[in-house]
Amino acid sequence: MKVAETTWKFIVDQVQPEEAFAVGLTAYTRGNVEVAEKALRKAEMFSPPQVAPMASFILGLLLREQGDLAGAEGAFRRASQSNHPDAAPLAVRDLGLLLSKRGDNAGAEAAFQRALASNHPEAAPKAAVNLGLLLQEQGNLAGAEALFRRASASGHPDASPKAANNLGLLLRERNDDAGAEMAFRQASNSGHPVVAAKAANSLGRLLEKRDNYADARTAYRQAINSGDPEAAAYGARNLARLLKKQGDYASADAMLRRVMELGHPNVAPWAANDLGWLLREQGDLSAAETAYQRAIDSGNPEVVAKASLSVGWLRQERGDYEGAAAAYQHALDSGYSDAMAEASLYLGRLAQQRGANAEAEAAYRQAMDSGHPWIVPKAAAALGQLLYNRGDIAGAEAAYQQALDLGDPEFASTAAYNLGVLRQERGDYGGAEAAFRQAMALGQPNIEQEAARALSFLSHTRSNDGET
């Protein structure tokens, strides 16, 4: 029954101290903040010691919800110092959350430890999860694991599933797949309204990695049917990937379109990008570009960048170089660093192809400046060839040397071979021999054969020139 505002105010003004907590708690649960705060403060001041600490705790919750963090901290501290069997452990755990949020990790850890030591059936398991996450962030993985295991074994309906899921994620990171599977299964079977579906997705990915496709499909379908919009979308995308892997392109297509229809902002753009790849592999390039364009239209920066690169490849394959350049430029303008590096490389190649060598050089150097681990060697090798073709031998040698030093097997071997050719042409036979031998040692079959032939020719040349 709804209580009139004037009635609330009369009640809180007239209520006896021993009844103030009950009034404050009722007002709090019904969302009447002003009355709740007034009644709870009255209960704090005048209620007996078995009641006042709980009033402080509830007041802390109320003030935190209203954004008064200083007031909430004070209320939690008062409750935590009371030795009340419920209010003290509950309040000190919430105090830990508040301190952690503002970056006071030492204070938060001390608060969580106090809650843990209380063995309170509500506060201790939750504090174990909170402290486990804090220790994990600090790199104390052994401590985090122990706390997650403690909380997961507690049977607490909220903390136990969360701890099991966190334990699974931690074990997966260190490649303990068997341990991670057990933890994810516990969390996914918990019935928790949020964690179970997330754990089902994680379990599915783990099982898929181990080629247990039947159980992976079951896990993904659990997530899809969970009623959690985000987990369902991720589950459907995961299932589509698995179906594609198994060659069921029609079902994968249908599943991706379902994700797109669900429209979850974190997943639908990726599903559109995935659909583009699927259609491209089947040769339906027009439909693929349409799917990529839908991904681009989502506005998700990473998806925009990746889909723009894909559109660029499609257009380049069909000879639309101007359209490809526009797509690559869109990826470059996305602000997503990995795609920017790749786009710079492709723009350089297109510019070089049409004879705009200065533009190509600038693009290659931009790609090299990105620091991207597999784009930089490609860009350095391409720049070396560009500079060599226009007669800048010193610049070409420096670029080839950079590609070689980066150690990418494919491009390092090509760069070593090109260095050998360059040095041989200028009469540096010793340097050429060293480069050819390095190209052979890098183990790329085609380059190894070319380098061996070049080395044989070099030996013949040096013999004819009277060198030994």
Q: Do the beta carbons of residue 412 and residue 382 sit within 8 Å?
A: no
pLDDT for residue 15 is more than 50: yes
Q: Do the beta carbons of residue 122 and residue 157 sit within 8 Å?
A: no
C-alpha distances in angstroms, 95 versus 37, 51, 98, 159, 367? 19, 19, 5, 17, 48
What's the rounded Cα separation, in Å, for the pair 99 and 393? 61
Based on its alpha-carbon atoms, the radius of gyration of the chain, rounded to whole angstroms, reads 32
Whether the CA torsion 283, 286, 289, 291 is positive or negative: it is: negative
Higher pLDDT, residue 443 or 7: 443
Does 1.20.58.760 match the CATH number of domain 373-468? no
Buried b (16+ CB within 10 A) or exposed e, 254-280: ebbbbbbebebeebbbbbbbbbbbbbb
pLDDT digits (tens, 9 = 90+) for 205-261: 999 999 999 999 999 999 999 999 999 999 999 999 999 999 999 999 999 999 999
Fold of 299-370: 1.25.40
Q: Do the beta carbons of residue 5 and residue 39 sit within 8 Å?
A: no
Q: Do the beta carbons of residue 28 and residue 62 sit within 8 Å?
A: yes
Looking at the chain, which residues constitute the CATH 1.25.40.10 domain(s)?
1-120, 299-370, 373-468
Q: Do the beta carbons of residue 48 and residue 78 sit within 8 Å?
A: no
Backbone angles phi, psi at 212, to 5 degrees: -90, 75
Mean pLDDT in residue range 17-24: 84
What's the rounded Cα separation, in Å, for the pair 455 and 300? 51
392 pLDDT band, cuts 50/70/90, is very high
Mean pLDDT in residue range 169-196: 97
What's the rounded Cα separation, in Å, for the pair 73 and 7? 31
What's the rounded Cα separation, in Å, for the pair 24 and 467? 100
Q: Which pTM was predicted?
A: 0.82
pLDDT digits (tens, 9 = 90+) for 28-82: 999 989 889 999 999 998 888 889 999 999 999 999 999 999 999 999 999 999 9
CATH architecture of residue range(s) 1-120? Alpha Horseshoe (1.25)
Q: Which amino acid is at 186?
A: Q
What's the rounded Cα separation, in Å, for the pair 373 and 363? 17
The label of the residue with tokens 């040095």 reads 423
What's the rounded Cα separation, in Å, for the pair 186 and 195? 10
pLDDT digits (tens, 9 = 90+) for 405-422: 888 877 888 999 999 999
**Residues near 66 by Cβ (< 8 Å), separated by ≥ 6?**
33
